[in-house]
Structure 1
Amino acid sequence: MEHGREQTAGSSDVDVLLEAVLAVGRGLELGTTLQRLVQAAADLTGARYAALGILDAESRIGQFLTVGMDAEQVHAVGDYPTGRGILGELIRHPHPLRLHDLTTDPRAAGFPPNHPEMHTFLGVPLRVHGSPFGNLYLTGKRGGGDFTDADQRRIEALAAAASIAVENVRLYDDALLRERWAVASDEISRRLLAGDAPDDVLELVALHAANVARADVAALTVQGQDGLEVRATVGTCDVRGTVMPPDGSFAAEVYDSGLPVVVADAAADPRSSVAFEAAHVTIGPFAALPLGDPGATRGVLSVGRERGRLAFSPVVVDALRAFASQAAVALELAERRRDAEHLAVMRDRDRIARDLHDLAIQRLFATGLGLQGVARRLERAGDTVDAERVASAVDEVDETISLIRTTIRGLQPPAGGDRRVGVRSRVIAEVETASRTLGFAPALRFEGPVDTLVPPTTANHLVAVVRESLSNVARHAHARHVDVLLVAGDAVVLTVSDDGIGIPRTRR
């Protein structure tokens, strides 16, 4: 009879263990599978509290899953442990550990405030694919007493079976991720080849990066005139246009170094990310990838998960690196398109300048010579009135030739590739604006290479003088004609003259 009872008890243990293994093996989502593992370990041993500490790349606890504590208790305790004391003992020496009272063990590091009282302890390492994955921690055996050899064997058997289940789930997750990655990359590539606007492509990259990485937030920052500027976001308030601080942030560090940054808990890191200040969740797992190679970084792709979720796996980081490369290509293509458009404009302007010089000026010059001959014949015939009219027409032709030559110089790109707006264009804009107030167009002439000889600081003052002078003519002179002449040579001389009433003698 005794043997029969032992056999029945043994069968019962096997059934309980088998049920626990089956519970862990159900489902294909890693987070759910790991949570079931912790619950199964607690059920197998009768532990009041159970936890799984998942190790990060630096062999510290990067994620901590618990059973037996409600959300309020977890919040009251605060940050989860990182691997000190007894919990760190299993990390340093990955072998099963049983204690009668962990509070009296010299290796214990104590408990934080508001932590439940715990004494009996059982810890078992968990390996996946032959490598350390984490540790199962059990404490507070129900009914009193210590954890037994049988408890330890059950958890070791559960850990061995769970390692296979966890590996299968990870492989399935990787397969799904690669499928989503391929679909997303194909859409981004088609949009790139179609010539979509850079901001639209960056928005698409951020959206797909968040989706593939199963991230809660994502942001793309690109170097602008004032620093790193947020150009696309997912999962946050609209902070596009926000300029990142020059240092002290993940994005700034990645942009300066050109190297990726991946952390398990961004909230506990002294660095910050302004792009996620508007997020509705506290960021834990975080990854920031450079757009481009070191030394040629164009921006940063940042993604984050809510604190408490699993850290980003190497496969996810590889996918994010590919998305960052596509964002860099989008920016590169946009820059090349802008350069091509600018080059096309320059070529067109050069063609117009050549046509004006080779055709228009030559014909005007020939016309002027012909008119001068007519004027001389009229003078010899004694028709001085018509001779003066023809001479005036010749002067108009000369002024037109001078204006065309000035226009030709303006069409030619400035030396050194400087694309700033020239003085000539700014003065023309001021004269055109004043014509609406005056009721007629002032006559405008340039002499000399004004765009080349007038420095930027002087140009600002010069444009202001033109604006104020024309404003005074419109308000006070009652003029019918205004001449504006800008001469650039050894000195820069601006002359604004009109046929108005002038300044009264009683006014300065």
Structure 2
Amino acid sequence: MPRAELERSIDELIARAVQMKQSEGRLRALLRATRAVVEDIDLSIVLRRIVEAAVELVDSEYGALGVVGADGAGLEAFIHVGMTTDDADRIGHLPEGRGLLGAVISAKEPIRIDRLADDPRSSGFPVGHPPMDAFLGVPIRIRGVVYGNLYLTNPRTGPFTAEDEELLEALAATAAFAIDHARILIEARTRERWMTSSAEIAVALGRADSEQAVSTLADELFVRSDSERVVIVVPGEKAGTLHVAAARGADAASLAGRTLASGESMAGAVLDIAVSRIEPEHHSDSLQDPFLLCNNGSTGPAIYITLGDGAQVWGVLVAARSPSRPPFTKTDLEAGVDLGERISVALELARARDSQQKMKLMEDRSRIAQDLHDHVIQDLFGTGLELQSISSTASQADRWRLDEAVTRIDGVIAQIRKIVFALAPRDAGQTASVRHRILDLAADASKALPRPVDVSFSGPVDLFVSGALVDDVVAVTRELLSNVVKHADPLDVSVDVTVATEDIQLTVTDDGGGIPANVHRSGLVNVEKRATDLGGGVDVTSSPSGTRVVWRIPITEEVAR
């Protein structure tokens, strides 16, 4: 009996020694895991090292860390260890935080299960998922709030124990400190990046022309933001629509200038309620927001930032990332709202500067127009009268030369009057006259021609070409100039509008290659129809040396009124 008792005591001492050695080994493993977790400050590296350390600490086959979304319901990120790339590809999108994973999120306490299949909270596995048995889930808390959860499955040495749970809780406490430190550093860097970007963008907008400000803004935002697509959306011309003022990045060409219904994008709701928001990554084919980036049924994260001065919102900035990219954070949202207000101030300053410059230009033009009208035309007119008086007493040969000089002076006076008319400022709110609209069309066409389009007016044009007739004359001028620019390849183009005693004539002449015999004349058909509807007609003269189109309508009592 004493010998048996001694042997039993020796066995107990050996077992305790082995247990103490194992505990010492696990504590050393915990220290190694702690050191591995805290020695880096990059959050993505920290999160992966936490999972790797947890897997090694409890000797499990699979491990993961799910980052809880901002709403506290689902997962916005999922870092896994042990599963091969092929396994992950077969499963498809990563877990969203339902079933047993969601139970850990809801409970906010550790959950330890010997067999997953026996737990009613388990929702099963998707096709291609490797088999998993035992389960241990432990929350990671930061300042009392659950940041994420550690999930371990398939322990190699039997079911998870209470000691495993305690070790993981200790690791989770250290992980919370490391994550919090990394997040604070990320927030500081994010704010610094946004502040630097807002200052540089404001400087760029201050140098840009107001008409190009939105395009400049899109360029600057795309270069400085960590996003694959940047879109600036403004209210459309029609109520309930959105217009894409600028787009940069992935598929930007298909979005730029597009108009869509407000309900087709979250930008419409943001514009209506004037509240910026973050859109997390989604796994659903039903989400069709055209401004987001999609891949294999997943829609990437995005941020919608209102652009305005706090009192009025004039647009929405949409920055989108690809699925699986890091989500936008609350810090991004706060800094983005500040950026939106700074941008609006910079744009307003740019518009005010442009308005001031345009006002100065208008004043200069008005002064030049007045000088031309009051002095130059008067002097030319007086010179013409003097030449005419000399002509009556001159010889026949000299009289012919003097008459030619008077005719040239009349032509110069007509050109100066056209310039005076173009330089004269238009009254605010005044509808543009037919002269102004034709001059604008000629200026636009001149950009695509080697020489400016020559425009002349004869007779009381503004008196007789008014009301609905203005739209007809302008439409015909636009069509004829468009045909010349697209097909004629001319050097010189002229437009003449003449109001005579009986009719109104619009003549467009060019020295291009003429109208080909086999060309489809859909544009000229429209021009002829407008003339015949008004009781007039069209004369077209074309040859390899040029084309002359005369569009004429009679002056009826209705037109005269």
TM-score over 0.5 for the alignment?
A: yes
Q: Distance in 2 between matches of 1:352 and 1:124?
A: 81
Residue 29 (structure 1) shift? 0.7
Evaluate the alpha carbon distance shift between residue 309 and residue 128 of structure 1 in structure 2; reply closer, same or farther with a 3 A threshold: farther
Q: Distance in 2 between matches of 1:427 and 1:79?
A: 55
Evaluate the alpha carbon distance shift between residue 484 and residue 27 of structure 1 in structure 2; reply closer, same or farther with a 3 A threshold: closer
Evaluate the alpha carbon distance shift between residue 169 and residue 399 of structure 1 in structure 2; reply closer, same or farther with a 3 A threshold: closer
**Pair 1:408 & 2:424 matched:** no
Structure 2 counterpart of 1:35, one-letter code: R
Residue 39 (structure 1) shift? 1.6
Structure 2 counterpart of 1:463, one-letter code: T
Residue 94 (structure 1) shift? 1.0
CA offsets, 1:350-380, max 9 Å, x none? 222211222123334544665676678x5xx
Structure 2 counterpart of 1:87, one-letter code: L
Structure 2 counterpart of 1:147, one-letter code: F
Structure 2 counterpart of 1:219, one-letter code: V
Evaluate the alpha carbon distance shift between residue 22 and residue 424 of structure 1 in structure 2; reply closer, same or farther with a 3 A threshold: closer
Q: Which residues in structure 2 correspond to 1:177-256 (within 5 Å)?
A: 177-195=190-208, 198=213, 199-210=215-226, 215=227, 217-221=228-232, 223=234, 228-229=243-244, 231=246, 233-234=248-249, 236=250, 239=253, 242-244=256-258, 246-247=260-261, 248-251=264-267, 253-255=269-271
User: Secondary structure of 2:121's partner?
Assistant: coil
* Partner residue in 1 for 2:544: none
2:89 paired residue among 59, 75, 87: 75
User: Secondary structure of 1:297's partner?
Assistant: strand
CA offsets, 1:195-231, max 9 Å, x none? 4864445322221122xxxx4x131335598963474
User: Secondary structure of 1:10's partner?
Assistant: helix
Residue 451 (structure 1) shift? 10
Q: Structure 1, unaligned stretches of length 5 or more?
A: 471-481, 504-508
Q: Distance in 1 between matches of 2:477 and 2:438?
A: 10
Evaluate the alpha carbon distance shift between residue 96 and residue 424 of structure 1 in structure 2; reply closer, same or farther with a 3 A threshold: closer
Residue 168 (structure 1) shift? 1.0
Q: Distance in 2 between matches of 1:461 and 1:131?
A: 67
Evaluate the alpha carbon distance shift between residue 17 and residue 409 of structure 1 in structure 2; reply closer, same or farther with a 3 A threshold: same
* Partner residue in 2 for 1:16: 29
Q: How many residues align?
A: 470
Q: Distance in 2 between matches of 1:187 and 1:452?
A: 51
Evaluate the alpha carbon distance shift between residue 163 and residue 451 of structure 1 in structure 2; reply closer, same or farther with a 3 A threshold: farther
User: Secondary structure of 1:134's partner?
Assistant: strand
Evaluate the alpha carbon distance shift between residue 340 and residue 232 of structure 1 in structure 2; reply closer, same or farther with a 3 A threshold: farther
Question: What is the TM-score of this pair, normalised by structure 1?
Answer: 0.76
Q: Which residues in structure 2 correspond to 1:296-335 (within 5 Å)?
A: 296-304=313-321, 306-329=322-345, 331-335=347-351
Evaluate the alpha carbon distance shift between residue 109 and residue 175 of structure 1 in structure 2; reply closer, same or farther with a 3 A threshold: same
Q: Distance in 2 between matches of 1:182 and 1:171?
A: 16
* Partner residue in 2 for 1:54: 67
Evaluate the alpha carbon distance shift between residue 54 and residue 426 of structure 1 in structure 2; reply closer, same or farther with a 3 A threshold: closer
2:137 paired residue among 123, 126, 136: 123
CA offsets, 1:7-40, max 9 Å, x none? 3333222212111111211211111111111121
Tell me how large the CA RMSD over aligned residues is. 4.5
Structure 2 counterpart of 1:298, one-letter code: G
Residue 86 (structure 1) shift? 1.6
CA offsets, 1:246-295, max 9 Å, x none? 14234555455543331221554744454566999976332232333575
Structure 1 counterpart of 2:319, one-letter code: S
User: Secondary structure of 1:449's partner?
Assistant: helix
* Partner residue in 2 for 1:475: none
Q: Is the 8 A contact 1:261 1:289 kept in 2?
A: yes
User: Secondary structure of 2:76's partner?
Assistant: strand
Q: Which residues in structure 2 correspond to 1:77-476 (within 5 Å)?
A: 77-144=91-158, 146-195=159-208, 198=213, 199-210=215-226, 215=227, 217-221=228-232, 223=234, 228-229=243-244, 231=246, 233-234=248-249, 236=250, 239=253, 242-244=256-258, 246-247=260-261, 248-251=264-267, 253-255=269-271, 257-266=273-282, 268=284, 270-272=286-288, 274=290, 284-292=300-308, 295-304=312-321, 306-329=322-345, 331-367=347-383, 404-405=416-417, 407-415=419-427, 416=429, 422-425=436-439, 445-449=458-462, 453=466, 455=468, 456-460=470-474, 463=477
Q: Distance in 2 between matches of 1:174 and 1:193?
A: 28
Residue 119 (structure 1) shift? 2.3
User: Secondary structure of 2:154's partner?
Assistant: strand
Evaluate the alpha carbon distance shift between residue 323 and residue 496 of structure 1 in structure 2; reply closer, same or farther with a 3 A threshold: closer
Residue 422 (structure 1) shift? 2.5
* Partner residue in 1 for 2:505: 494
* Partner residue in 2 for 1:33: 46
CA offsets, 1:312-351, max 9 Å, x none? 2212233333444455456545544554444344323222
Q: Is the 8 A contact 2:234 2:244 kept in 1?
A: yes
Q: Is the 8 A contact 1:121 1:138 kept in 2?
A: yes
Evaluate the alpha carbon distance shift between residue 185 and residue 296 of structure 1 in structure 2; reply closer, same or farther with a 3 A threshold: closer
Residue 117 (structure 1) shift? 1.7
Structure 2 counterpart of 1:63, one-letter code: A
Evaluate the alpha carbon distance shift between residue 244 and residue 23 of structure 1 in structure 2; reply closer, same or farther with a 3 A threshold: farther
Question: What is the TM-score of this pair, normalised by structure 2?
Answer: 0.69
Identity of aligned residues (%): 28
Evaluate the alpha carbon distance shift between residue 327 and residue 273 of structure 1 in structure 2; reply closer, same or farther with a 3 A threshold: farther
Q: Structure 2, unaligned stretches of length 5 or more?
A: 1-12, 485-493, 510-538, 541-561
Q: Is the 8 A contact 2:285 2:298 kept in 1?
A: no
Q: Is the 8 A contact 1:61 1:82 kept in 2?
A: yes
Q: Distance in 2 between matches of 1:47 and 1:465?
A: 77
Q: Is the 8 A contact 2:439 2:455 kept in 1?
A: no
Structure 2 counterpart of 1:90, one-letter code: V
